[in-house]
């Protein structure tokens, strides 16, 4: 009998990649939870039904569950029935800008929904590795206190302590998170606590910019995906502060799924990992413009607002050394240029 994995947010970028990877590479039976809440949060441009349909057509062992993770009885009933061998929790309200307008929806989803899943797992699948897709926004704007050096197209850390990026030991306290960051902190800490208090195999993956060709990027969430969309459709892209020199590290969703597989094979309790592209896959907005313009031969139309987003990082890339020390066979397989080339190709196809 094949193993079973439960994936929340299964129609989203990470969720759909996990469904595909665990099905095609590992032979798992896939059970996905998704109620297209992204369309509620972001409108029609955030709709992910197309991805749900794609999974249903592509994966013969995919089972869709139209469940809101805020619905505690339904979550408990599903876990009681399935008793999965692994759980990947990728469902979330993902925008720190949007969270300020819907604070209850944001917290109930990111904190309450996570607790619902954890408790259901404790009752019905306590030995199943529980992999939580957290965010680097749990660090708030504390990374902005690190001394920076300004270059022509980007900022970088001036302190050699962070030459490899932000480590998991970095403080999450005494900083401005945005309401989204705060709700994700609550879920993140709860996942750690269920690991430590109950001895469950859990981990939090504090993601940088997670991306890939199946990302339904919108202005408030989805850096590279939305940037490419704006370029291909010749829309005006708005830069929020820092002269467009703010830096993010970018990781392909396939490499995230590969790490989740590694953790599921050799789980630990209450772990935390900063998962991203690292320094090699980092870029500023200005640098992303240059790469995309080269790929599409279209100029990047943009305007500038001196007002930065609340809690936004000026420079952030993940220190991957802890991940690689615990799972030495895992590594980044997609370069930044390869990631952007895939996104451009997907955006230029008729299906997009």
Give the chain's domains with CATH numbers: 4-348 (3.40.50.720)
Q: How many Å apart are CA 257 and CA 155, to the nearest integer?
A: 29
Parallel, antiparallel, or unpaired for β 237-240 and 155-157? unpaired
- Tell me the Cα Rg of the chain: 19
pLDDT at position 117: 98
Lookup: tokens for 165: 């990026």
Give pLDDT tens digits for 276-290.
Answer: 999 999 999 999 999
**How far separated are the first and last CA of the chain, in Å rounded?**
37
pLDDT at position 351: 52
Give pLDDT tens digits for 141-200.
Answer: 999 999 999 999 999 999 999 999 999 999 999 999 999 999 999 999 999 999 999 999
Task: State the greatest distance between any 2 C-alpha atoms of the chain, in Å, as a whole number.
Answer: 57
Q: What does residue 307 show for φ and ψ, rounded to 5 degrees? A: -85, 115
Q: How many Å apart are CA 203 and CA 18, to the nearest integer?
A: 16
Q: How many Å apart are CA 253 and CA 16, to the nearest integer?
A: 9
pLDDT at position 45: 79
pLDDT beneath 50: ranges in the chain: 352
pLDDT at position 350: 56
pLDDT at position 352: 44
Residue matched to tokens 């917290």: 107
Angle, CA of 230, 8 and 15, to the nearest 5°: 45
List Cβ<8 Å contacts ≥24 apart for 46-51: 46/216, 46/218, 47/216, 48/11, 48/12, 48/216, 49/11, 51/11, 51/12, 51/16, 51/214, 51/216
Are the CB atoms for 278 and 204 separated by under 8 Å? no
């Amino acid at each position: 009998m094949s193993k079973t994995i439960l994936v929340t947010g299964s129609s989203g970028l990470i969720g759909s990649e996990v469904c595909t990877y665990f099905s095609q590479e590992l032979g798992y039976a896939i059970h996905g939870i998704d109620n297209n809440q992204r369309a509620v949060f972001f409108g029609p441009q955030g709709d992910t039904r197309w991805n749900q349909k794609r999974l249903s057509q592509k994966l013969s062992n995919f089972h869709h569950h139209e469940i809101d993770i805020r619905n505690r009885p339904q979550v408990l009933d599903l876990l009681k029935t399935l008793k999965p061998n692994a759980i990947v929790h990728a469902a979330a309200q993902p925008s720190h800008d949007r969270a300020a307008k819907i604070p209850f929806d944001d917290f109930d989803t990111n904190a309450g929904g996570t607790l619902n899943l954890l408790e259901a797992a404790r009752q019905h699948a306590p030995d199943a590795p529980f992999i939580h897709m957290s965010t680097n926004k749990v660090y708030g704007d504390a990374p902005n206190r690190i001394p920076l050096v300004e270059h022509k197209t980007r900022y970088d850390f001036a302190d050699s302590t962070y030459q490899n990026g932000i480590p998991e030991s970095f403080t999450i306290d005494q900083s401005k998170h945005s309401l989204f960051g705060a709700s994700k902190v609550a879920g993140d800490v709860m996942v750690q606590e269920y690991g430590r208090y109950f001895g469950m195999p859990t981990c939090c993956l504090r993601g940088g910019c997670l991306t890939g060709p199946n990302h339904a990027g919108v202005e408030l969430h989805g850096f590279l995906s939305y940037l490419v969309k704006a370029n291909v459709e010749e829309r005006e892209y708005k830069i929020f502060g820092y002269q467009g020199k703010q830096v993010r590290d970018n990781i392909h969703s396939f490499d995230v799924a590969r790490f989740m597989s590694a953790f599921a094979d050799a789980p630990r309790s209450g772990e935390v990992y900063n998962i991203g592209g690292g320094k090699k896959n980092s870029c500023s907005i200005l640098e992303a413009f240059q790469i995309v313009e080269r790929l599409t031969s279209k100029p990047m139309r943009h305007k500038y607002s001196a007002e930065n987003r609340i809690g936004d990082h000026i420079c952030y890339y993940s220190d991957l050394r802890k991940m690689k020390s615990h799972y030495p066979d895992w590594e980044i397989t997609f370069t930044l240029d390869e990631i952007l080339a895939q996104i451009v190709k997907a955006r230029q196809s008729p299906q997009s």
